[in-house]
Structure formats: C-alpha cells, structure tokens
Structure 1
C-alpha cells in the first residue's frame, strides 16, 4: 500500500520559527474561581443535600469550564472548543474579513500573506447534558470528548460533538429575524379626521362571520362602519417583509446514540463527506451522517472471555484523502492501518506499526507509558503522528519497520515513574498535531507548556513555550541522534534535556497544571491550545 505524497520527514529543513502570543480567552486571575456566579448557590445546595449531585461538585471544583476538546475547521476560519460542562463555544476569524475587497485593491495594498490571526467569540450552545443510565447504575458525564467539523453548506456550519456515549450532529446558521410592516389602515376600524386610532378590539374578542366580516361580539358587522378620510387615502401601504437583526441559531440535527458499551474516545470524519467513525475501548463503528439509528461495527477487539483482554483502542482516525483507509492505535503502543475494502469486519489489519522493545528495558511501567493517547494523519496522508506518555513518534505509512522520527518529550520523568503512577499523572492523555505543510509537530506537557519540533530532514528545531500572556521562556534545544534502527531511511532523534526533575530549560515542572489539548491551523503557523479553562493562541 503506497499512500500519500512526499512531504514531512523528507522535506527540506525550514527556518526556525519565532512564536508570539496572539490572544487569550477565559484567562483567570490568580485565585479566581471558574464558576464565580453560581458558587454560592451551589454551596448552599450541597450543604442542604445528603447526597449532592456530582455535577454540583464539579461546578464547585471549577471543572465545568475546563476545556476538554479543541478543533480548527478545514479553512482555519473557525475554531470550536468543548468543555466539561457539555458546552461548545465557536470562534470566528475576523482579521481576514477586514481586508476583503476587489483584486485591484488587494494588489494595491500589497498585503502580506502572513497576518496576525485574530479570532472573536461567535456563539455557544449546550451540546450535552448529564445523564444517568439506570440499567447500569452509571452516571454519564456531559463532558465533550471530541469535536469534529463537517463540510460547510450554504453558509451554515456543521460539526459533530460527543461525550462518553452520545454523538450529536449540529447545524449553526445565521438567521435574520423577519418582520412584516403594518398597513396604514385597518378594515375593521373607523377612521376619523385622517388619524389612525389604535385598536380597542383584541384578537380574542374578534369573531369571524360567514360573510367574512369581523364582529366585536355584537350583531353588527364592523366592516359596515368603515370610513376613510376626506379625499381618500393618498396611498395604500401593503405589508412588506423587512429583515431585522440577525442571530446565530444552533440546532441539533441528529443524535447518534446507543451504539457504544464503553466510553467513546474518538470520532473522525471521512473525506467522502458522508460517513464518520466513532471508537470506544473495544469497538469502532461506521456511521452515515444522514442515518442516526443504524451503524456498522467494523472493528471489534472484544474477546469471548474478558479475562483474555490484552489491549484496548485509544484513538482512531480516517485517512485524509482515501475514504477506505483508517488507522487506530492501542494501549500496547501499536498503530494498525485498516483497509475497509478487504472485508466488512476489519479485524485483520493491512499494516502494523510498532517499535521493537530494547532487550532488558522492560519494566512494570513499560506498557503504561507505551500506550498511545492520540494519533493524527499528516495533511497528505503519508505520515502518522502518535503521542505516548514519553515521546512523539512520526511514522511513514509506507515503512512499518519503525518510526521515521522520535521526539523525546518527557524523558526526564523516567526516574519519577513511581510517583507519577501513585498520583495517576502517568495516565494523562496528551494530544498532538502537525502543521499544514507537515514540517513541524507539536504536543503539550506539564506546567502549561507545549513543545514544537521540526520534523524535516536535518532539522534541529525544538521550542518549548508556556501558555500565558507573557511566556516566561522560549527554549531552543539542539537535537541529538540517539540510535539507528538499522535503516538508512529511518532516523530517531532525541530532543530535550534528560536531567531528572527538570525541563529543557532546567526548570521544575508543576504536575497539577497540564496542557492536554492543542490544534494547529490547517494553512498557517498558528496554534490554539487549552490550559484549564483558558484558550491561548500563538502565531509565528
């Protein structure tokens, strides 16, 4: 199987980027609570209840506003975020609109291609509500796990959002409120001295007669008393529909439910514009966007005896240009490429990507840190980026002998794995993303830091930046080759400091703050990342 173009790891090494702060939404001051307005009310409700609602407790702990999903659309003009409170917030780019004009005007302005990206709040809506499964005695959180944009149609925005169990298809459209202008004469009222008195007969009092007249309850027909001003009316104003203010309306078009026994961890749109997949721990289902009551199970890892279970699905993604190909990762650190043309049930993979273990390196934590938390296809489909707890790996789908590049993110944490296991930090699921041209990759870390690496051949770019209005540090760390896999094509690059307890710049990490979610603009060097309830945007 030879899929995709020749970009990414084989591209010419680009120049280093200087990242700058662009915008922030929802940043809190030190000590400020997320849900300030509802805190006192919720405290009273919790105090008066023996068994308080877990949703109230999450509100008090400031978890409702914490961003749990983030995604650019295909054009990069819209950005969507989802939070633990089940809300979806949309942002729209505005700096490009200010420079829209004729071609001559644009040529005369000679406006540069690279602009300072500026996004404004567009709208928000409640996507999911907390539920309770009475059959399983299971609470279903409203937290948004993933958001995926669908194709825009007739100026309307479409997107998919999902929590642990239910996927929803939303349409967001700008609607203009239409009003009908009044007539300058009402047929059931008398007119005196050319003035137009207000109606004293309410609509509830008016009754229709057989001849079409109106009556106020008496036996007389009011239309017989119709009179006009002397000389008649100069003009008769007919009703005219006028457009008033416009408003954004979000409407749930379809609900895809009752198809997953386990928590949904991924949804991905197909390039055919008609289907999408949803994945939980053991199964991947194929849906048609137009059909909400039926799905097809295409991958099933559930064994007959659950005691024989050895791995679970952690992430799934459709190929960006081939509608029959998808990839999914597992908790064992492997990525499987699936061709849906082979069979209806895709239990047998076309290709398997996994790195061979170094002899003698296996420990209690080996499988835990090898679990892949996120995978992303490059725009061309040639490469797959995967993120496990310690590293970022770039895979060429035409070469399954090993990763093309490996980027060390948390190598300095290896001596602290026992402590990370005790406080559950070792199970944190960090996302990853690629630039539109495939020359750079990025992922998050602790202390609200994110890291950007150059993945082109010969690149030494490695930048660590803090998600803040005033980033405290921006580190350029030289790359060092670590070892070869025995292939002249394959190279493994280690970047970053390996000193235990410190990051690349020698500063200690704060494990209570973490940057899990980030996304790269599809056409420009712009990154949006989420730190707690704050959305930060950077550009280069």
Structure 2
C-alpha cells in the first residue's frame, strides 16, 4: 500500500463537506458524531450532536467517487426525563442502514435512549395549474357555456425528498445506547447500552427481548460494562459484544434465550510488568467489527488495534500499536479526559486494509498482511493543496515508512492538538473510498 514516493499510499483527498474556513468557535451541535455508508456505497449518512441526519448521494455526473447533498432531517430532539431529573441529549450516537428493498431507503438512528426507523423517499410535488378560479392574478368570469368550463389540472412542479419516522423504539434501555447492529436476515437488530443488549424485530416497536444482561444484583459489585456490540455479517444467530475488561464475547442465540453464557471469549492476558494505574482504562475496548467474511474480528483500545481469528481465543493474530508515543503522557490525557475517547476501527471493503483514527486529525490505514501503514491528516490544508494542484500536506519530500519529515514523525511530536480527533469513519463497501468525520467537517479520500 505504501509504495508511492509521496508516502500517501495512493490515497488522495477528494471532497470536503462543512465549513471550509478557519473557524475557532465551532458550534457544538455541528460536530459530527457518526458516519455510515449504505450497503451499495451510493449513499452516505452522517449524524451530529444537534440530532440532525444528513444524507449524501453519489454524483453520477462525475467520473470519480464524488458525492452531493441529498437531504437533511431532524432525527432527535432534546428531551427531559422527569423521573430521573435527567436531560437526554439529541446527539446521534449511531446510524445503520437497512438493505434497500424498494425505491425508499430505510435507516436506523439512535440517541442515548430512543431508536428510530426512518423511511427516506422521493415524492413528486404537484400543483393545480388550471382551474375556473384564477387566471394568473385576475379572476375569470363564470363560464356561460359548458365548453368554457375548465377542469382543474395537476402539474408536476418538483421532486422532493421526504423523511418519515416509520417506527420509534423507546423505553427499553436504562443506560445510554452506544451500539445498534442490523442482522443479516434484515428482520431483526440489536441495541446495546452499558449493561444490556436487546434484540428487536424491525416491525415491532413496543417489544424487545433482553438477550444479554450483565447488571449485578448489587451495583457496588459492578466491575465491567459493555462497550460495543455487532451481529455476525452472515450468521443471523451469532453476535459479539466487547467489554471494558478488554475481552470480546461471542454469543449464539440458538444456545439459550439469555446469552449471558458466551460461546467464545477472546482475551489476551496482560503482562504484569506493564501494569499501571491507567491499565484498566487504556485496555478497555472502544470498538469491535467483524470482517466482511466473518472470519476475523478487529478491536480497538486506546493505544492499539488487534486482529483476532474467530477460531483462536487465546491471543490476537496481530497487534498494531497506534499511540505508543502517548504512553508517557497518560497522566495529562487522564486529566483532560482524552484517555476516555472512543476511537472506532473499520475494515476496508476487501478485508485487506483496516483504518482507525488518532489525534490532531490524523488517521492511519494499514495493510493487514504486511502491516505497512499510511498516515493521513483530515485537515483544511488538504483541499487547499488540491485547489493549487500540489501534493497532499506532509508528503512532500518523498518520505516513506517514517523517514524524516513525514506525517508519521509529526504525529509523535508534543504539539498535537488533542481537541482535534478522528473518532468516526466509514469505508465504502466496494471500493477504496473512505469518509472521515473531523469535528464539523466530512472528508472523503479515494485511492486508485
């Protein structure tokens, strides 16, 4: 992957949506909190902290992989739980597309408490173009003969994109929902919070089945929480969930109604010599994802990526350090709460590459076989360079694999901005195009 002289691995900046100017005061509501391609890659959805969902569609008029605005709608509003005296944010935590079965699109979006199934479809807007009442601005005299009678005619004026909530799945989670995953049968999905995983039928909004419950009888005995959950891509009875105790449990719904007894558990024993005050926090898994063939599991903790073979539970087949340069700064990161940041991890559409984010708007793409990596930066300078026809920033001197001056070296410097971070990304299912959420901007990158 990292074979070209520029060190960008053939990746180039393609597009940016959002405010392209240097904005110091970014509105909290505009910060993108999730991004997701649909199963065809022709549509892309983003959700933000203001509860809005924005959809983009592929621009067929352009040769490359380019997108244009499709529609935007308000998915969630801020609420107040009077029983618990708790504000419920409108922030969209996750969006998942359902496979398209007709002309309409269906997608699930969730905030901390409520999941909604949205139907997005195109509708033609028709207006009355001819009648007996008005001729432009002037009233018409009543017709004196039947031949003068004008029947009202409808004329198509415009096509609009409408978004309608078809189902609202609420009141099933006592804690904040952090994961939703649609099953391969396209009939059911799971939603997960810190202590429970619920199974839903897409067509039934008032009933769900609790399939994992790790809540102890006495909350003072609580030692771990669920951090992410996902269905297997092809086997509709298998799902996994990760924990803050650095393990991933694979569960089979055919085994029992309550899947507290896992079928497999993937866990690596910690080296006692590396233990520190921060060990438990940095080993907590923030995201897990099955490869598209279902054979491997990718997991991300604070400092590393791990690839697990589904047939080998004792240790990962590969461990990739992401933030080794931050080991000495864990105290500072703990004080500014950055140590609790939840970075996502993504498989490429071909299962040969993986992607995850870092600070200062850096993100890294790895070749699974060779572990060669490409470091890119979702930064305003990327589209400035594109306008001027120059190379991507930071890749100017023909550097490769960490030679002086490269982005990889810059990434390890003290001057990192920890407020800029790539937490959310999505990979096109059929080609090398990636969507990166960088604060209030959506960046698109493509590779040949």
The TM-score with structure 2 as length reference comes to 0.89
Distance 2:311 2:156 in 1: 56
Aligned match of 1:466 in 369, 372, 377? 377
Q: Residue 244 of structure 1: CA displacement?
A: 2.2
In structure 1, distance between residues paired with 2:400 and 2:199: 43
User: Residues 147-182 of structure 1: CA distance to partner in whole angstroms, max 9, x if unpaired?
Assistant: 000122321111010000010110111100123453
**Within-5 A mapping of 1:285-300:** 285-300=198-213
- Change in Cα spacing, 1:32 to 1:413, as seen in structure 2 (3 Å) is closer
Looking at CA atoms only, which structure, 1 or 2, has the larger radius of gyration?
A: 1
Q: 1:476 to 1:308 in 2, by over 3 A?
A: farther
Q: How does 1:293-442 map to 2 (within 5 A)?
A: 293-442=206-355
| Secondary structure, counterpart of 2:326 in structure 1 | helix
Equivalent residue, structure 2, for 1:58: none
- Which residue in the other structure is 1:227 paired with? 144
| Offset from partner CA, 1:247-301 (integer Å, 9 cap, x none) | 0111111111000000001000001011111000000000111111000000000
Which consecutive residues of structure 2, in runs of 5 or more, have no partner in the other structure?
Answer: 386-391
Q: Distance in 1 between matches of 2:371 and 2:164?
A: 47
Map of 2:77 onto structure 1: 129
Counterparts of residues 178-197 of structure 1 (less than 5 Å): 178-182=126-130
1:391-540 mapped onto 2 (5 Å cutoff): 391-456=304-369, 459-468=370-379, 469=382, 470=385, 471-474=392-395, 476-477=400-401, 503=411, 508-540=415-447
CA distance in 2, matches of 1:292, 1:226: 55
Give the match for residue 116 of structure 1.
Answer: 64
The residue number in structure 2 matching 1:210 is: none
Which of 119, 139, 160 is residue 198 of structure 1 equivalent to? 139
Q: Is the 8 A contact 2:77 2:89 kept in 1?
A: yes
Give the alignment partner of residue 143 of structure 1, picking from 83, 91, 104: 91
Three-state SS of the structure 2 residue aligned to 1:74 is coil
2:388 counterpart residue number: none
* Superposition RMSD in Å: 2.5
Give 1:508 shift.
Answer: 3.7
Is contact 1:464-1:476 (8 Å) kept?
A: no
Counterpart pick for 1:270 among 176, 183, 197: 183
Kindly provide the CA deviation profile for residues 308-343 of structure 1, in whole angstroms up to 9, marking residues without a partner as x. 111000000011111101011000110000110000
Name the residue aligned to 1:175: 123
Change (3 A) 1:132 1:476: farther
Q: 1:98 aligns with which of 61, 73, 77?
A: 61
Q: Distance in 1 between matches of 2:103 and 2:237?
A: 29
Cα contact 1:462–1:478 (8 A) shared by 2: no
Deviation at 1:511, TM superposition (A): 1.1
The 1:508–1:472 alpha-carbon spacing in structure 2 relative to 1, beyond 3 Å, is: farther
Task: Tell me the equivalent position of 1:46.
Answer: none
Any conservation in 2 of the 1:22–1:538 contact (CA below 8 Å)?
Answer: yes
In 2: Cα distance, 1:428 partner to 1:120 partner:
30
Once the two structures are superposed, residues 390-420 of structure 1 have per-residue CA deviations (whole angstroms, 9 ceiling, x without a partner) of: 0011111111121111111001111111111
Return the alpha-carbon distance in structure 2 between the equivalents of residues 273 and 15 of structure 1.
40
Normalised by the length of structure 1, the TM-score is 0.75
Counterpart contact for 1:72–1:522, Cα < 8 Å: yes
**Offset at residue 236 of structure 1 (A):** 7.1
For structure 1, the residue ranges without an aligned partner over 5 or more in a row are 1-12, 35-61, 100-114, 190-196, 201-224, 480-495
What is the distance in 2 between the residues matched to 1:519 and 1:271? 19
3-state SS of 1:245 partner: strand
Which has more strand, going by share of residues? 2
- Does the CA contact (< 8 Å) of 1:332 and 1:370 recur in 2? yes
Is the 2:32–2:437 contact (alpha carbons within 8 Å) kept by the matching residues of 1?
yes
8 Å contact kept, 2:2–2:401? no
**Contact map agreement 1:148 1:161 (CA 8 A) in 2:** yes
Structure 1 residue 77 corresponds to structure 2 residue 69: no
Does residue 27 of structure 1 match 2:19? yes
Three-state SS of the structure 1 residue aligned to 2:274 is coil
Task: Quote the offset at 1:27 in angstroms.
Answer: 3.1
- TM-superposition CA deviations, 1:198-249 (whole Å, max 9, x none): 357xxxxxxxxxxxxxxxxxxxxxxxx9733xxx84x976554432211011
Counterparts of 2:24 and 2:340, CA distance in 1: 28
